[in-house]
Structure 1
Amino acid sequence: MKQGIFFTIMIVLAVTACKKTPDFMFQAPLQNVYFDIKPEDSVVYTFAYKPDLGRDTVYLPVKLAGLRADSIRKFGVIVVDTATTARPGVHYEAFKEWYELPADSGVFKLPVILFNTDPSLQTQSVKLTVKLKPGAGLDTSVNKLIRTKVILSAKLEQPDWWTTWPLGAYSRTKHELFMIATGVTSMTKEGLDAPRNLFLTGRLNVMIADPFAWVANNPDKGYVLTQRPDGEYDFYAISNPAKKILVRKVVSSGRFYFVDENDLDIN
């Protein structure tokens, strides 16, 4: 009799356990996206070594914390105005309303389109701080990792090798002309490299001695000289017309000179 009662109780428990009730159904939380960048780090980008480049794109790595899905899910980006000095349309392209994490994917590269059109970037940097926002099927509750920043500039600094070779007085404009004329961004300080480095120095001297001849003889470089209303000229890359270097004539000599950021003729 006791054995029969025991089996009856077991059957009742088994049937009860098989019934699904709303109180015990597993509710999966939303999946999260976050920046795969340390909170204390910034993405630093400079146009300093690309003077002919009018725009470029950096990609911020966004990752999924959770399970992949067989459908497209969305998240957004917010610019944190209180921690941003960059201006939309001037320093960066405005973000889309939503970005899509592809199906069966746990990684996304968020494109940040940057502009090299503001002359002030040659003397100072600007900051763009962004934050992820929830979208369809994706949350952003990993608080410490949903915010990051991009530091943008186009500022050149005098390199340690500049005074090793006969390059003359340093200016950021002359440094830029050096890179345009030579196609390199640096030289060594080694004596054994003197033949190469003096050759590069000579290419710069040819350029600054006659800007018009240089433009005519180097069409592959993609630079032009256009006259301004005041009779002086602007030197710039066809690919980046917003970034200009002044070329003016000295009446006493009849020669044209590139002009640096200090309004001094470059020799």
Structure 2
Amino acid sequence: MKKNILYLIISSLILLVSCEENTDGYYDNIARIYFPSTTDSVNFSFGDQVMTYTRHIVYMPVRKMGTPATREMKYKVSLNKERSTAIEGVHFTTLQDEYTLLVDSVNAYLPVELIRDELSEEEVIYKIVLDMKESTDFELGSKEDLQAVITFNNYLEEPAWWKEIFGKKTIKYNQGMYQQLIAYYGHPLERQYCINHFLEVQSVFKREVYDYAQANPELTRDWEFQPNIKWDFN
């Protein structure tokens, strides 16, 4: 009789565990959230964007374990201040208290808005480290996937073609001058385009960099600027 009772107790426990625990070692009736390990790091550069582009939103993927949500669910993240070098409210907008995972979904995208205004133009990398936190709707998933990193900068590297096009005329590469060309063309220039359109690029440079050159004459002292000339390259 005692053996039968013991057998029933053990069988009940095994059945209970098998119903509640999934293959990941978590209980199916507990909602858990994490950063997918394949997309937990994002990098962005303002350097090759036109100067008027001062805000950029990074969407960091977030995922719910198991089945899609049957209602809107709230999750939380916090800034890891010890590991972050970017300043909240200065280099990126203040994080919200909580974010939403929509109904019928297991995926969400955490928006983080980067701010260009106070970023150095030197080769400086800014880093935001985010930690996933428990919320009223979610407990945490695998401990290896509870942190995400965003890196960004405002550095515009000297293009390989710069000395070929301007080397004999300018003293050195200057990010501000290149930004004037990017503003005119709407995008960074490729080497082959500059080689194929050598006179055009030099002429656009003379016209578009005129104001910048007046404020920084030491950078372009060998140039003879003629900003009023209308160039036609068609």
TM class by shorter-chain length? 0.7 to 0.9
Q: Does 1:175 align with 2:178?
A: yes
Pairs within 5 Å for 1:51-130: 51-130=51-130
- Residue aligned with 1:170, SS: coil
**4+ residue runs over 4 A deviation:** 23-27
State the shift of 1:61 in Å: 0.8
Count of aligned pairs between the two proteins = 200
State the shift of 1:113 in Å: 0.4
Pairs within 5 Å for 1:181-260: 181-189=184-192, 194-209=195-210, 211=211, 257-259=214-216
Once the two structures are superposed, residues 63-95 of structure 1 have per-residue CA deviations (whole angstroms, 9 ceiling, x without a partner) of 111122311111101100110010011110111
- Residue aligned with 1:83, SS: coil
Which stretches in structure 1 are left out of the alignment for 5+ residues?
A: 1-15, 212-246, 248-255
Q: Is the 8 A contact 2:121 2:156 kept in 1?
A: no
- Residue aligned with 2:69, SS: coil
- 1:160–1:194 CA distance, 2 compared to 1 (3 A): closer
The one of the two structures with greater contact order (alpha-carbon pairs below 8 A, sep at least 6) is 2
- 1:65–1:36 CA distance, 2 compared to 1 (3 A): same
Residue matched to 1:33 = 33
- 1:183–1:34 CA distance, 2 compared to 1 (3 A): same
Once the two structures are superposed, residues 117-146 of structure 1 have per-residue CA deviations (whole angstroms, 9 ceiling, x without a partner) of 114254412111001112222221311111
| Alignment partners' CA distance in 2, 1:205 and 1:104 | 57
Residue matched to 2:164 = 164
Q: Is the 8 A contact 1:48 1:122 kept in 2?
A: no
Once the two structures are superposed, residues 221-244 of structure 1 have per-residue CA deviations (whole angstroms, 9 ceiling, x without a partner) of xxxxxxxxxxxxxxxxxxxxxxxx
Task: State the identity %.
Answer: 20
- Residue aligned with 2:197, SS: helix
TM-score, structure 2 as length reference = 0.74
Q: Is the 8 A contact 1:164 1:189 kept in 2?
A: no
Residue matched to 1:43 = 42
Greater mean alpha carbon deviation, residues 83-92 or residues 200-209 = 200-209
| Alignment partners' CA distance in 2, 1:55 and 1:160 | 27
State the shift of 1:195 in Å: 4.5
Higher strand share: 1
Query: AA paired with 2:215?
Result: F
State the shift of 1:266 in Å: 3.5
Q: Is the 8 A contact 2:119 2:153 kept in 1?
A: no
TM-score, structure 1 as length reference = 0.66
CA RMSD of aligned residues (A): 2.9
Once the two structures are superposed, residues 196-234 of structure 1 have per-residue CA deviations (whole angstroms, 9 ceiling, x without a partner) of 24312211111233x2xxxxxxxxxxxxxxxxxxxxxxx
